[in-house]
Amino acid sequence: MFLAAAKVGGIVANNESPADFIRDNLLIQTNVIDAAYRAGVKKLLFLGSTCIYPKYAPQPLKEQYLLTGELEPTNEPYAVAKIAGIVMCQSYNRQYGTRFIAAMPTNMYGPNDNFDLKTSHVLPALIRKFHEAKTNGHPYVEVWGTGSPRREFLHADDLADACLFLMKHYEENEIVNIGVGQDISIRELAELIRSIVGYDGRIVYNPSAPDGTPRKLVDVTKIRSMGWSARISLQDGIRSVYEAFRENYTIRA
């Protein structure tokens, strides 16, 4: 069983609905993990998030940094729920002898992403913003924050491949990171997306908006040592997502 179901969102959604994030995610994973045990599921993979790591943890983020410091306040309810899911899997393994493993993917993106500006993550939000600005002739695009935070982005197809790999080859009780091992600043990401979209206007940063965690780069030594690495470059991945977006999304004036 692959447990990927979760309530997710960017800074705006996490800020506006903290109770929904902790409640819904606790309900989802508690019911599914317990049901998997009771139904005799042979193996379960629980997907967490790199939000579980402390806000100021050393970079890159190693698996052993879990629960070593304070969380980022903007997504603490979500992170606490995910940490509970990890501990629940480990506890069921300890008490009931289950084979429940937990993986922590970095920031994801891909076709059929969420492009709603209130609930989406930064990459799909920027794709939509730049495309609509280009289509409607807007002179600038506003980007939340200072542009200085650094983020790592993993294509959904790479994550799917990693999940299959772990299900076949990983049996340990400890968590394992899934990522690409490279990050990029939000400023650099905005410039890259602007180039791919072909938008000629300005980028305006809004420093009054929250930046979130300064940096989130995961250490992927563990999964690479087992023989898995991400294959899709960020530029190629964004280009394919943008093409799918243009084909399927109705642009609003």
* Cis omega (within 30 of 0) for bond into 139: no
Q: 98 among the known binding-site residues?
A: no
| Neighbour-count burial of 68, counting CB atoms closer than 10 A to its CB (0-12 exposed, 13-18 middle, 19+ buried) | exposed
Q: 50 among the known binding-site residues?
A: yes
Q: 121 among the known binding-site residues?
A: yes
Bridge partners (DSSP) of residue 108 are: 154
What does the alpha-carbon distance between residue 176 and residue 180 come to, in Å, rounded to a whole number? 13
Check if 65 is active-site: no
Q: Kindly name the residue from 53, 78, 92, 109 that is annotated as catalytic.
A: 78
Q: 91 among the known binding-site residues?
A: no
Q: 47 among the known binding-site residues?
A: yes
Q: 97 among the known binding-site residues?
A: no
Q: 151 among the known binding-site residues?
A: yes
Longest dimension (CA), the chain: 61
Token readout for 155 is 């294509």
What does the alpha-carbon distance between residue 167 and residue 172 come to, in Å, rounded to a whole number? 11
Instruction: Give pairs for 29-37: CB < 8 Å, separation 24+.
Output: 29/3, 29/81, 29/84, 29/85, 29/88, 30/84, 30/88, 32/1, 32/3, 32/5, 33/3, 33/85, 33/88, 33/89, 33/92, 33/100, 36/1, 36/3, 36/98, 36/100, 37/92, 37/96, 37/98
Q: Which residues are annotated as a binding site for substrate?
A: 129, 144, 151, 211
Q: Which residues are annotated as a binding site?
A: 47-50, 82, 121, 129, 144, 151, 211
Catalytic residues: 78
Q: Which residues are annotated as a binding site for NADP(+)?
A: 47-50, 82, 121
